[in-house]
Structure 1
Amino acid sequence: MTENYSKLRQQAEAAFGKAQSQLFERQRAIEDLNSIVIARDEKTERLREARLAKELHDSVTSATKLTSKRARKS
């Protein structure tokens, strides 16, 4: 079925298509940025947890060493 539209209608359809494609591009860019932000936040959280675990391990180790040194001196 071939439909003949007026020139004004064709221009409106073209403008609408362009606006839609720009909207989709903008949404895709926003989604890409959001995924980058989410990935960065997840990595930051993993690094924070690793740092806290290391600090806890180091403090337990130093406390153990201090206790063993005191026990040897007594």
Structure 2
Amino acid sequence: MTRSRESKPAEHQMRPGGMPEKLAYSVPGAAEALSLSVDYVWKLVAMGELPSVKIGKRRLIEADKLRAFLKDR
């Protein structure tokens, strides 16, 4: 007999309208959030100015890294 795990809801910010805030963005999503071109965001990632993580085939940028990037500008 196997026991199912109880999942707890994620504890993160809620956006207006009750939708949970994203924890990470794809490069195109980050570009949209920053109002920058996708090519420029890829360049920032390649130069190491915008930290990212690779999960499977996807490259993701954590939401807090986007905020830190903007704050440092």
What TM-score range do you get, normalising by the shorter chain?
under 0.3
Give the structure, 1 or 2, with the largest relative contact order (CA under 8 Å, sep 6 or more).
2
Provide TM-score, normalisation by structure 1.
0.19
Question: Structure 2-normalised TM-score?
Answer: 0.19
Q: Which structure has the highest helix share of the two?
A: 1
